[in-house]
Amino acid sequence: MQVTPRLAPACLALGLVAGWVQPASAQFLADDPPRTGTLLRWFTDSDRVSVRSLSGHWNTPLRSTSGLNIDFNNERVVVPAISAPPGTQEAVDAITTASRPISGNAFEDFVKVRNEVQGDYERGPMAVSYYVSSESDYLAQQLGGRWSRDLRPDARNLSLGGSWSWDAIQPLRDDDTQTSAATKSTLHWNAVVTDVVSPTTMLRYGVEYNLVSGLQHSPYRNVYAGGTHVPERHPEHRQRRDAFLRVSHALPNRSSIKLQYRFYNDDWGVNSHELGTRLSQYITRGMSVRWEYRWYTQTPADFFRTEYADVNGINGYRTGDYRLGDLASHLFGGAVRMDLDALAPTHNVMRRLSLWLDVERYFNSNHYSANVVETGVDFRFP
């Protein structure tokens, strides 16, 4: 079971739909020094599930037009024990509908650890990447590539990317786990255009496509259907498509604003709209703050029901995942960043450090909420 989306840029799993791994992009210069950084993330939701993530980043130029980029992450997930007394209906319902392995004692906290590494090699307009993630019941691997070209020098850039991932799933066994070993594969491609509209405005737009095959439901989650609990079952094939538009504009008072819109749909019947905005402002030399808001809404999958009258569900499919139902969500966030170089420009260590704190509040129409606190340290090598 993947508790979080793998290496999705800059966030932990908040139960959001449609996140994909994309090749990292960075432009290395011949005189750029190696850079490294660490990031500590902490996540908790309304069900007291907590995630602690410690990640690191390292990159270095190899030649005038090439560079190596390595990211790693160690993640620890804690699902709290069933709080209802053993034998009560509340305990039975909590166990039979659990979306986690429940082998052993369900009245004790369940802990899972995930480790992941991604490496990217860039040379000129091209880049290749490899990603691997390992859990006790899930091994994920991915090969990716990217090519970019300036269509108008300093004004328009086209980037094409693609990846192929293959996952091996080995569910932890207990009396309720009826899913045997399985696989999943994903073919991904994207096309992104970046336009410099003016010295203060940049426009980015593009499309993405994913073709997913294999196990796409939780092997541990049961669904109440036909008066009893039966294993969840999703279709084994899914086409996922989206288009997005982002506008970034620099304001005259040392601030900037970003607006973005994304439309998503798939052949399971899910259609979604996402609208977001972000305002960044320098407070003083070396110190900046950021505020953001994101709104999201979607339609349910064709086979989603709050209650199934028959054990076969809808055409043999049934789900207990609320993220495939009607959904509307809001995210509010704020962040502060401080470059210590502004406080001690002559200090050998302090001038190479940057610190930041990021706090987000997420809630949706299905009574799910989460708090995300993120702290980070950047260290620039001499």
Domain-embedded: residue 61:
no
* Residue in 262, 187, 147, 234 with CA at minimum distance from that of residue 21: 187
Distance between CA atoms of 362 and 276, rounded to whole angstroms?
A: 13
What are the φ/ψ torsions at residue 125 (nearest 5 degrees)?
-85, 0
Helix (H, G, I), strand (E, B) or coil at 323: helix
Domain-embedded: residue 33:
no
Domain-embedded: residue 265:
yes
The reported pTM is 0.80
pLDDT at site 346: 80
* Residue in 80, 74, 63, 162 with CA at minimum distance from that of residue 114: 74
3-state per-residue secondary structure call for 186-226: EEEEEEEEEEEEECCEEEEEEEEEEEEEECCCCCCCEEEEC
Mean pLDDT of the 160-176 span: 86
Domain-embedded: residue 235:
yes
Please state whether beta strands 138-152 and 327-339 pair in parallel, antiparallel, or not at all (unpaired): unpaired
- Check whether 290 has a pLDDT greater than 90: yes
Q: Which domain holds residue 241?
A: 128-380
- Check whether 91 has a pLDDT greater than 80: no
Residue 108 near residue 115 (C-beta atoms within 8 A): no
pLDDT digits (tens, 9 = 90+) for 27-65: 333 344 556 778 888 888 777 888 999 999 888 888 778
Residue 216 near residue 184 (C-beta atoms within 8 A): yes
Distance between CA atoms of 71 and 87, rounded to whole angstroms?
A: 46
Structural tokens at position 286: 């070396």
Domain-embedded: residue 18:
no
Domain-embedded: residue 53:
no
pLDDT at site 102: 53
pLDDT digits (tens, 9 = 90+) for 208-263: 999 999 999 988 888 989 888 899 999 999 999 999 999 999 998 899 999 999 99
What is the domain count for the chain? 1
Residue 73 near residue 10 (C-beta atoms within 8 A): no
Q: Tell me the residue type at 335.
A: A
The DSSP code for 236 is: S
Higher per-residue confidence, 75 vs 62: 75
CATH code, domain carrying 316: 2.40.160
Strand (E) or helix (H) holding 15: none
Distance between CA atoms of 213 and 129, rounded to whole angstroms?
A: 22
Domain-embedded: residue 44:
no
Residue 190 near residue 207 (C-beta atoms within 8 A): yes
- Check whether 313 has a pLDDT greater than 50: yes
Domain-embedded: residue 258:
yes
Structural tokens at position 75: 């993640």
Distance between CA atoms of 55 and 153, rounded to whole angstroms?
A: 36
